[in-house]
Structure 1
Amino acid sequence: MKKKNTFIAMCASLALFLGACGGGGSEDQSSSGSSSEDKVLEMGTSADFAPFESRNPQGDFIGFDIDLANHIADELGYELKINDMKFDGLIGALQNNRVDMVLSGMSATEERKKNVDFSIEYNHSGEIFITKKDSPIKSLEDLEGKTLGVQLGSIQEEGANQIKTDEGINFEIKALDESGALIQELLSNRVDAVYMDKAAGLGYTEAQDLAHFDDPTTSSPGMAVAFPKGSELVDDVNKVLEEAEASGKLQELKDKWLSEELTD
């Protein structure tokens, strides 16, 4: 478990560094395929979310979602091209048909389903609140009067607003484009806590020696592949995901990229 968590922590440290350099905010393309004559599958992602999507020191896309997208493309006979953009622009990219699908740790919420179609869910991590180790924040109630960092356009942004309403806790929400930037805000005392997907958050907590506690509220929807409304790819991708689940391929990717705390 230590070895796997250390690997995730390395991914989180890299994502934090790239976030500081502004690496996740531009649109970029990388491809994986055997021939320029292959059919092309355009994928959108926000590569600042290790261990799901980030870049290695050579600038290549790596992560759970990247490996899964490559598997989907291979199974369907496509050449995969990856477009890196801000997370809150991914739904718009689908609506404008700039990409064919999105894999970016995106939860299949009812609100998003109004604008895009989703595959079956392929992962569910849950959420955590991240703090400094010396922070007095140990529970939801301790957020009263504090500032909570969330990623712009994320399920955690929606969840934070829901917690304020449902739990009656008054705190300020600060939304930023990149998860790495949120951790920088925490380390610089510009936010008191960060609300993040558990898989990504565990990497940051180990890499930066931070504390965390689980979100005790209702679990969010799981992650799924997103498509433009009416996309013919939905059924094909669902078949690939079902086969990957049955064959053990999906579990293989979880074992490779996710903490044992999430895969046990």
Structure 2
Amino acid sequence: MKKFLLASLITILSIAFLAACGTSDDNATGSEEGTESKKVLTMGTSADFPPFETIDETTGEYIGFDIELAKKIAEKLGYDLKIENMDFGGLISALQAERIDFIISGMSATAERKESVDFSTEYHKSGEMFVTLKDSDVKSLEDLDGKKVGVQLGSIQEEGAKKIKEETLKNLEISALNKAPELIQELKAGRIDAVYLDKTVAVGFIEELDLAGFDDPTEASPGMAIAFAKGSELTEEFNKVLDEMKENGELKAIEQEWIEK
């Protein structure tokens, strides 16, 4: 009986040893064939902001200026890129909770945001614009007094609209929603009188949907930048690549493809 138990134990140990060897061989083969995966960086974005970030209706893929910029930087730094789509207002909290590694989402580097995150150097600057219906009687900023303007929740335009109300148009009503297309729907349905957007995004909606609009004559907002957790080593890495792309024309080429086309 003892001999039988000893033999059984030896068999079990032999199988375990062979299994372990097999696992080791599999890993070694993967390395030899170059299948060892690169480190993955997770980018947070709100994919409702064309031409910066949106979802291709045909393929379901993320496309846009910011998407191409993120792919190019990740490639140059040797990272694989994963994209997480979420509401714009939740991006910074997701970054602080370490659910994402960085944010590229048409985000302006405001002084208030800099208290919570670190920013890269600016990579684009658009300015702001008000979008209206073509037959609207709202033709200028002064015409918005007593009217309702729509803004994206958590955006620089929401902050700007509050400042305009405080300093200039006391009777301005502000309606904040999560996504830019929702604001355009509200405009077309007559529930708001104008939508306050990044100028590049606004022009896209105006041309596509036969709308009207006018530039924001107030103080210009900061340019767009990439956001990182406080003290992140990625900030310096990304800045180095951004500087190179500005110098060699790659950033301009992406801008021409998605914004100036």
- TM tier relative to shorter chain: 0.7 to 0.9
Measure how far apart 1:169 and its partner are: 3.7
Aligned residues: 227
Q: Which has the higher strand share?
A: 1
How far apart in 2 are the matches of 1:67 and 1:230? 25
Equivalent residue letter for 1:137 = V
Measure how far apart 1:165 and its partner are: 1.4
How far apart in 1 are the matches of 2:50 and 2:169? 32
Could you tell me which residue of structure 2 aligns to residue 205 of structure 1? 206
**Residue 58 (str. 1) matches residue 59 (str. 2):** yes
Residues 143 and 169 in structure 1, CA contact (< 8 A), matched pair in contact too: no
**Residue 95 (str. 1) matches residue 96 (str. 2):** yes
Residues 45 and 85 in structure 1, CA contact (< 8 A), matched pair in contact too: yes
Q: CA 1:35/1:114 → structure 2, altered by over 3 Å: closer, same or farther? A: farther
Equivalent residue letter for 1:49 = F
Residues 129 and 216 in structure 2, CA contact (< 8 A), matched pair in contact too: yes
**Residue 191 (str. 1) matches residue 188 (str. 2):** no
Q: CA 1:259/1:151 → structure 2, altered by over 3 Å: closer, same or farther? A: same
Could you tell me which residue of structure 1 aligns to residue 46 of structure 2? 46
Q: CA 1:96/1:136 → structure 2, altered by over 3 Å: closer, same or farther? A: same
Could you tell me which residue of structure 2 aligns to residue 224 of structure 1? 225
How far apart in 2 are the matches of 1:80 and 1:135? 43
Measure how far apart 1:35 and its partner are: 5.9
Residues 43 and 82 in structure 1, CA contact (< 8 A), matched pair in contact too: yes
How far apart in 1 are the matches of 2:42 and 2:211? 36
1:38-84 superposed Cα distances (whole Å, 9 cap, x missing partner): 11011000000000000112110000000000011001100000000
Equivalent residue letter for 1:54 = T
Could you tell me which residue of structure 1 aligns to residue 76 of structure 2? 75
Could you tell me which residue of structure 1 aligns to residue 4 of structure 2? none
Highest RCO, 1 vs 2 (Cα 8 Å, sep ≥ 6): 1
How far apart in 1 are the matches of 2:68 and 2:209? 26
Q: CA 1:160/1:70 → structure 2, altered by over 3 Å: closer, same or farther? A: same
Measure how far apart 1:168 and its partner are: 3.6
Q: CA 1:118/1:35 → structure 2, altered by over 3 Å: closer, same or farther? A: farther
Measure how far apart 1:36 and its partner are: 6.2
- Structure with greater Cα Rg: 2
Equivalent residue letter for 1:50 = P
Where does the alignment leave 5 or more consecutive residues of structure 1 unmatched?
1-33
After TM superposition, the score normalised by the length of structure 1 is 0.84
How far apart in 2 are the matches of 1:168 and 1:258? 32
1:1-264 maps to which residues of 2 (within 5 A)? 37-56=37-56, 57-259=58-260
Residues 44 and 101 in structure 1, CA contact (< 8 A), matched pair in contact too: yes
- Worse overlay, 149-158 or 168-177: 168-177
Equivalent residue letter for 2:233 = E
Residues 121 and 226 in structure 2, CA contact (< 8 A), matched pair in contact too: yes
Where does the alignment leave 5 or more consecutive residues of structure 2 unmatched?
1-33
Q: CA 1:35/1:147 → structure 2, altered by over 3 Å: closer, same or farther? A: farther
Measure how far apart 1:250 and its partner are: 0.5
User: What do you get for the CA RMSD once the two structures are aligned?
Assistant: 1.2
Residues 75 and 240 in structure 1, CA contact (< 8 A), matched pair in contact too: yes
Structure 2 residue matching 1:175: 3-state secondary structure: strand
Residues 129 and 196 in structure 2, CA contact (< 8 A), matched pair in contact too: yes
1:21-50 superposed Cα distances (whole Å, 9 cap, x missing partner): xxxxxxxxxxxxx96611101100000000
How far apart in 2 are the matches of 1:211 and 1:188? 15
How far apart in 1 are the matches of 2:100 and 2:163? 30
Q: CA 1:35/1:43 → structure 2, altered by over 3 Å: closer, same or farther? A: farther
Residues 40 and 79 in structure 1, CA contact (< 8 A), matched pair in contact too: yes
